[in-house]
Amino acid sequence: MKTKFSFILFLFLFSAIPSLAQQKFYLDLNDRGNDIFTVTLLPQKLSEENRIYQFASTAPGTYERMDLGRFVRSFQAYDKDGNEIETKQESLNQWSISQPENVEKIIYEIEDTWDTPVDSDYVYRMGGSNIEDDNVLINGHCLFGYFHGMQSEPILVKIDYPDDWLAGTALKLNDDGYYEAETYDHIVDSPILLGNLTRESTTVSETKVDVFTYSKTGLIKSSDILGLIEDILKAEDDFTKGLPVDDYTFLFHFQDVSHGAWEHSYSSEYIYKEDSLTERLKQSIRETVAHEFFHIVTPLNIHSELVEKFNFEKPVMSQHLWLYEGVTEWASHILILRDSITTLEDYLNDLHRKIMYSDNFPDSISLTYLGVNAVDLHDQYINIYMKGAVVAALLDIRLLDLSNGERGLRDVINELSHKYGPKKPFNEKTFFGDFTAMTYPEIADFFNRYVKGTEPLPLKEYYEKIGINYVKEGGYDSSQISLGIQVGFDGENFIIAKVDDESPYSDILKAGDIIDKVDGEKLSMANVQKIFSQISKTHKIGDKIEMTVLRDDEPIDLELTLIARKNNHIFSVNENATEKEIELRNAWMRNL
């Protein structure tokens, strides 16, 4: 991997590029031996203002600390005669250049994030980089940086790779074979998957959709994926009254572990363990695609200035995470209900699960506070997908109620999408007022109480409006096993997020305990789903499991007896609903 280019060869490589104020990168992926990318950069028109070369501390949509400077192994700058110019690492993510105006090229080596061990702040695979013999994943922030003052400058990237490989990305190639990005934000927003891939394409209304898939043994093809999700894409098209993008790219990676997915403006990437397409895996892919694909609406077309130009050095997070993720999660489920892809019973069961999961988190943290502090509250930010989605569902009902069934959240979101769009951000500070002005004065009170505030959600009151019963405490479900605990993931460890008051282990287990082993097997991202799934299939109430937890780094070995799961937050259709409630429910269930 540590290929060095002579200065003559370097000039030859870039001789065809027009002289523009662009950062120009070159990657040679023909040598992939040691998990290191060698990046060659040809900067232009540098001045003292640009003496700092910045690697990203995080990336929009990840809500985690990454500090990509940790992965840099060498960094060297050269003048036009090939003489080395002094550089210095100023901080974890910054290198200074002593004579920036004389820099002709920079060569640095940076390790991939998948295989490089770190002590903390593990980078999720979907937001990381990987270089293997038969595939490469590039997320822009993992390989590329920018000079201070040049975040908004265009970027060109040339990649050499084996002739029999395919490359999947939303970026466009120019006539000289360079991927073009309008800004640094654009390159970060545009992952690239290369390797032994399959490809399948379709058109949804007027939007061209490409699916690229890497599958370690070739078990899963892009045609399989497209067959799974075509009805989801059609439902999203119906929901948005025409998809607001001309092209979209799905990138799927199936290998040894499932990690999730990450949205981008014109693409999304998915990391799954390679396995046969069981009904469980199919359902996971469909639900995840429904969520990630809807991000073409928010934040692509509806976002604040904090998202428009992200601060990669010292990130300032948006208070409107409830909109970007909470509303998106709500939409991903309601749109498949309204297109009759799922049933009302399944929708209500998912709502039940979200509220049950949300109970694990403090009710004293508002959605806006969680948004602004998402990086520091990384162990709690998943609640934005739970409580955030539930709040969006309530907002939808409130809007329909105020409009007598004529205008719900879907309609307002589509209006906002047309009002703003990819190039026009909304005002971070005034958006709540702007939203209220577009709708009804009562919505300001809703925002104050349930988005900015932490008042108990009016689940019973609101769902009664659409003829659906809600019971907060529903007893125990003897068909489901439990330990009376809730498990979370803090980015590095599986932790006990909450111990129920009624749990027989409330005096033994504590919130914050790290679950190290279950039945003698050490937990990891690769096996956690399999372990707990197997227990749920083979164990019954009264059976015992062995668990080792770490508390203050000390192991505690326990033998625990499984109990019936507490079953709160029950929804059911009211068979005696009034005519008015049924009418509003019908409006709620259809695409207006």
Digit-coded pLDDT (tens) for 241-282: 999 999 999 999 999 988 889 999 999 999 999 999 988 889
- In the prediction, which pLDDT does 31 show? 87
Digit-coded pLDDT (tens) for 355-370: 988 887 888 999 999 9
Architecture of the structural domain at 476-566: Roll (2.30)
Residues in the chain: 592
- In the prediction, which pLDDT does 591 show? 63
Please give, one letter per residue, the 3-state secondary structure of 231-244. Answer: HHHHHHHHHHCCCC
Name the 3-class secondary structure at 204: strand
- Asked if the domains at 7-182 and 476-566 fall in one CATH topology, the answer is no
Burial class of residue 217, CB neighbours in 10 A (0-12, 13-18, 19+) = exposed
Q: What pTM does this model have?
A: 0.86
- In the prediction, which pLDDT does 592 show? 54
Strand spans (E) along 155-283: 155-160, 166-169, 172-173, 179-181, 192-195, 197-204, 207-215, 247-255, 260-263, 267-273
Could you tell me which residues come within 8 angstroms of residue 175 by beta carbon, excluding any fewer than 6 positions away? Answer: none
Distance (Å, whole) CA 569 – CA 353: 8
Distance (Å, whole) CA 592 – CA 238: 10
Question: Could you confirm whether domain 297-466+582-592 is CATH 1.10.390.10?
Answer: yes
Distance (Å, whole) CA 267 – CA 254: 17
- In the prediction, which pLDDT does 3 show? 36
- In the prediction, which pLDDT does 11 show? 39
Query: Long-range pairs for 312-315 at CB < 8 Å and ≥24 separation?
Result: 312/54, 312/56, 312/57, 312/58, 312/59, 312/141, 312/146, 312/151, 312/184, 312/188, 313/54, 313/57, 313/93, 313/94, 314/57, 315/57, 315/58, 315/375
Tokens of 255: 């290998």
Q: What is the DSSP letter of 456?
A: P
- In the prediction, which pLDDT does 544 show? 92
Looking from the CA of 133 toward its CB, the CA atoms found within 13 Å total 1
Could you tell me which residues come within 8 angstroms of residue 459 by beta carbon, excluding any fewer than 6 positions away? Answer: 355, 390, 394, 470, 472, 569
Could you tell me which residues come within 8 angstroms of residue 204 by beta carbon, excluding any fewer than 6 positions away? Answer: 230, 233, 234, 237, 243
Low-confidence ranges of the chain (pLDDT < 50): 1-20
- In the prediction, which pLDDT does 15 show? 42
- In the prediction, which pLDDT does 474 show? 78
Distance (Å, whole) CA 126 – CA 122: 12
Residue 183 pairs with which residues in a beta bridge?
A: none
Structural domain spans, the chain: 7-182, 196-293, 297-466+582-592, 476-566
Distance (Å, whole) CA 560 – CA 254: 35
Residue 172 and residue 179 in contact, taking contact as beta carbons nearer than 8 Å:
yes
Instruction: Please give the class, per CATH, of domain 196-293.
Output: mainly alpha
Tokens of 415: 């209006």
Instruction: Please give the class, per CATH, of domain 7-182.
Output: mainly beta
Among candidate residues 496, 503, 492, the one with its CA nearest the CA of residue 561? 503
